[in-house]
Amino acid sequence: MSDAGRGDPTPLGVRRAPVAALPALHQIVLPTPWQVGPVQVYVVEGDPLTLVDTGVRTPESRAVLESAFDSLGLGLEDVQRIVLTHYHGDHLGQAEQLRRAASLEVWAHEDEAEMCELFSAERDERIEDTEALFREYGVPDDLVARQTAMRRRFVAEDPLCDATRVDRRLRSGDHIPFKDFELEVIHAPGHTAGHLLLYEEASGTLLTGDHIMGNAVPFTDNYYLEDPPDPADRLGRRPRFRGLPRYLESLRRLRGGAVRTILPAHGGVLERPARAIDDALLFYEVRVQRIDRALRRLARAGGGATAWEIWQALFPKADAVTEMRTRMLMVIGALDLLEDEGRVEVRRRPDGGLGHRPL
Ligand SMILES: [Zn+2]
């Protein structure tokens, strides 16, 4: 699930021990029918036999997973534990199906558990939330309605993913033990609220899911939380999970660390982690700058602008229905960041929506 694709097709199947110091850990590349391309899951041999992420629930993905296990001398029915980096379909997808054939536990971050357990219901709720969010940020009602209808159609199709129970809710600092090593859980919110990374200290290996990828930079989530409005917010806004500021924070925390190899969910194996982190930071820095400049141009003409007016100025040729969603989330994310940095002022407009003015 990505925002900007680049890179080469990856061969499907097993890549044995991509980190020499961890001979029990293998990468398995599974097909997805999505634009993001194949997804990379990881298996750790031993007791308990563990799978990190599972691929989408399609016969093609299942067949590649089965033959990969076969070539490693393993059986899917022997999987004892699944650890999920996050709830998206190419990670959670086959977990429930695998559970039916094996005696296994599913572990995920505590902030991700509800999405894993109530996948479809939660997605429906998110669609309504996004509708309200886009209205608050100035998108005209008819476009919001058309975008919502399109999203509902998309979700009504097979999501290639089943919900599953989370047997253990993980937190930052938890350790997942294996025979010869352990993985430390690091909470890295941004792409999703409960995204986690797994770190093996001795070899400096970091499993990053979609947080850092070899062939793309992830989009960041942005949705209303169920909490009541914060009384300290003078605009009476509903609290939100504001993914972009959280993502950049999570990324910056990894800078200058001891990571030597990144094992991502998309795009190979990354041997230059500092570069991958800086590339993702730069990707967003450039976009936030563009959005800031567009706001300043619009403000010179009329005092302020809505997120939707910025969208229109930046993407005059984009389709307002099919290409609205991820780019609007990007604009709203950038405005969140600019507000946090004290670079914009947010006001309630007479129509109830939010307007932004550069400071
Ligand atoms: Zn994802």
Residue-wise pLDDT tens digits, 248-265: 999 999 998 899 999 999
Neighbours of 265 (CB within 10 A): 30
Question: How many angstroms is it from 2 CA to the middle of ligand 1?
Answer: 7
Selected residue with higher pLDDT from 101 and 283:
283
Question: How many angstroms is it from 349 CA to the middle of ligand 1?
Answer: 34
Residue 340, burial from CB neighbour count under 10 angstroms (0-12, 13-18, 19+) = middle
Whether this model's pTM surpasses 0.85: yes
Question: How many angstroms is it from 248 CA to the middle of ligand 1?
Answer: 16
Question: How many angstroms is it from 86 CA to the middle of ligand 1?
Answer: 7
Counting every residue written for the chain, the total comes to: 359
Read off the tokens for 221: 């989530």
Question: How many angstroms is it from 4 CA to the middle of ligand 1?
Answer: 13
* Lowest model confidence (mean pLDDT) among 38-42, 98-102, 166-170, 320-324: 320-324
User: What are the two backbone dihedrals, phi and then psi, of residue 263, each rounded to the nearest 5 degrees?
Assistant: -105, 100
Distances in whole angstroms, Cα of residue 344 to Cα of each of 301, 306, 334:
16, 12, 10
Residues in Cβ contact with 138 at an 8 Å cutoff, skipping those fewer than 6 apart: 306, 307, 308, 309, 353, 354, 355
Residues with CB under 5 A from ligand 1 (ion): 1, 88, 210
Question: How many angstroms is it from 309 CA to the middle of ligand 1?
Answer: 28
Question: How many angstroms is it from 156 CA to the middle of ligand 1?
Answer: 19
Question: How many angstroms is it from 138 CA to the middle of ligand 1?
Answer: 27
Question: How many angstroms is it from 239 CA to the middle of ligand 1?
Answer: 23
For residue 99, name the pLDDT band (cuts at 50, 70, 90).
very high
Question: How many angstroms is it from 193 CA to the middle of ligand 1?
Answer: 11
Q: Is pLDDT at 4 greater than 70 in this prediction?
A: no
Question: How many angstroms is it from 34 CA to the middle of ligand 1?
Answer: 12
Q: Is pLDDT at 290 greater than 90 in this prediction?
A: yes
Question: How many angstroms is it from 233 CA to the middle of ligand 1?
Answer: 31
Question: How many angstroms is it from 215 CA to the middle of ligand 1?
Answer: 13
Selected residue with higher pLDDT from 301 and 339:
339
- Name the residue with tokens 């001891």: 258
For residue 157, name the pLDDT band (cuts at 50, 70, 90).
confident
Strands 25-30 and 13-15: antiparallel
Question: How many angstroms is it from 268 CA to the middle of ligand 1?
Answer: 16
Q: What is the mean pLDDT of residues 165-193?
A: 96
Question: How many angstroms is it from 321 CA to the middle of ligand 1?
Answer: 22
Question: How many angstroms is it from 300 CA to the middle of ligand 1?
Answer: 38
Residues in Cβ contact with 125 at an 8 Å cutoff, skipping those fewer than 6 apart: none
Q: What is the pLDDT of residue 6?
A: 43
Q: Which of 213, 322, 226, 265 is nearest to 89 (CA)?
A: 265
Selected residue with higher pLDDT from 351 and 50:
50
Question: How many angstroms is it from 357 CA to the middle of ligand 1?
Answer: 32
Q: What is the mean pLDDT of residues 60-71?
A: 97
Q: Is pLDDT at 32 greater than 70 in this prediction?
A: yes
For residue 9, name the pLDDT band (cuts at 50, 70, 90).
low
Q: Is pLDDT at 225 greater than 80 in this prediction?
A: yes
Neighbours of 236 (CB within 10 A): 9
Selected residue with higher pLDDT from 36 and 56:
56
Question: How many angstroms is it from 231 CA to the middle of ligand 1?
Answer: 33
